[in-house]
Amino acid sequence: MQRTAQDWLVLTELTHHSATALGVVMGLQFGPQLLLLPWTGYAADRFDRRKLLMATQAAMGVLALALGFLVITGRVQLWHVDVLAFLSGCVNAIDSPARQTFVSDLVGDDDLSNAVALNSTSMNAAQMIGPSVAGIVIAAVGSGWAILINGASFGAVLASLFYLRMSELHPNTRASQARGNLVEGFRYVRSRPDIWAILWMLFLIGTFGLNFPIFIATMSVTIFHGGANQYGLLTSVLAVGALAGALLAAGRDKPRFGILPIAAAILGIGFALAAIMPNAWLFGVALVIIGLSGLTFTTATSSLMQLSTPPVMRGRVMALRLAIGLGATPIGAPIVGWVADTFGPRWALGVGAASGFAAAAVALRYLVTRK
């Protein structure tokens, strides 16, 4: 809900449909994944992940409440959104690797692949419902209240973490002491050509493909001339495809590398179809394809990297994955936003299509050259 409301706030209330401004906000929000990389993976490997998550979730709740208060009181300015997006990104950079590796603490390695997929299922169910609800709330009472609801929801997250049955966790899957530092994580990744190829794919798709707020917002507002309800609905349609991909992944055995070029190529096809769709309904059909293939790709990369990495290195490897997959957004989001402003949203979708096809080429090259 907050992401939808924040994007709508920047695009329609604080600017005159500026995709560049929206890209800057996205860059500030995801940039700390790369900026704080030397510490985030180490924190996930070294500290109690449950306590770490309680601290980060509480901090994100406070930041959401602060932004919501500024909006509903009419005091919000674009720089407020920029600063709070950056601070939220800093907290999320610490939270994300700890949260992803905490899955193995909950279920152990035997069920990790399915658990990662089920985790994605719950997240995408929320992303399917949230934008639609946000669209209704924004239209009824304004974007500030949608953001405040998100801030209040962190109370439930903290309660869930507090009441976990500690005796049923799997602490053996988390190293009590992290050996070395980020340099060792880089050395380990460089020794693994499969992980190196995955990271290159994530860089391409994360930089130029996973800019969904820009793609959907600009198409909805400037091409299909819709309001907040249409934007929320289209975002939910994307999540429908992602939810389908997550459910398929949850029922699949351990993923294989060969699924990555297929998912990346279908993602490219989905973007290409979205770029030429004449109306919002057919655009939504293309979004389902994008959501399904995109989620299949990201879930498979997460499972492959976690399952093939020893627990003592898992936090740093996942931090590298997040830094490259999400931390590349400060590079790609302003570029994609500029393309949308200068040449139109359909050309921006073309950039997304190119990223999918390029990532598929990287995977095929690895499959052909591996010994």
Token pair listed for 172: 């053996």
Cα separation, 1 vs 73, in Å, equals 19
Cα separation, 168 vs 357, in Å, equals 43
pLDDT in tens, 39-82: 887 788 778 889 999 999 999 999 999 999 999 999 999 999 99
- Rounded to whole angstroms, the maximal C-alpha distance in the chain is 62
Amino acid 176: pLDDT: 45
Token pair listed for 102: 């905490």
88 pLDDT exceeds 80?
yes
Q: What is the mean pLDDT of the chain?
A: 85
pLDDT in tens, 295-308: 889 888 888 887 78
Domain covering 2-163+180-369, topology: Growth Hormone; Chain: A; (1.20.1250)
33 band by pLDDT with thresholds 50, 70 and 90: confident
Residues of the chain above pLDDT 90, percent: 41
**Least confident stretch, 68-72, 127-131, 281-285:** 127-131
Amino acid 173: pLDDT: 46
Amino acid 185: pLDDT: 74
Q: Which of 26-30, 263-267, 289-293 has the highest mean pLDDT?
A: 263-267
**Least confident stretch, 90-104, 212-226, 307-321:** 307-321
97 pLDDT exceeds 80?
yes
265 band by pLDDT with thresholds 50, 70 and 90: very high
Output the CA–CA distances (angstroms, integers) from residue 124 to 191, 235, 242, 354, in the order listed. Answer: 33, 11, 6, 25
Cα separation, 83 vs 6, in Å, equals 13
Amino acid 124: pLDDT: 62
Long-range CB pairs of 350-353 (<8 Å, 24+ gap) are: 350/271, 350/272, 350/275, 351/208, 352/208, 352/209, 352/211, 352/215, 352/268, 352/271, 353/268, 353/269, 353/270, 353/271, 353/272, 353/275
Domain boundaries, the chain: 2-163+180-369
Mean pLDDT on 107-126: 74
Write down the pTM of the prediction. Answer: 0.71
212 pLDDT exceeds 90?
no
Higher pLDDT, 251 or 30: 30
Higher pLDDT, 371 or 59: 59
pLDDT in tens, 130-177: 777 888 888 888 899 999 999 999 999 999 999 999 888 876 544 445
Amino acid 224: pLDDT: 92
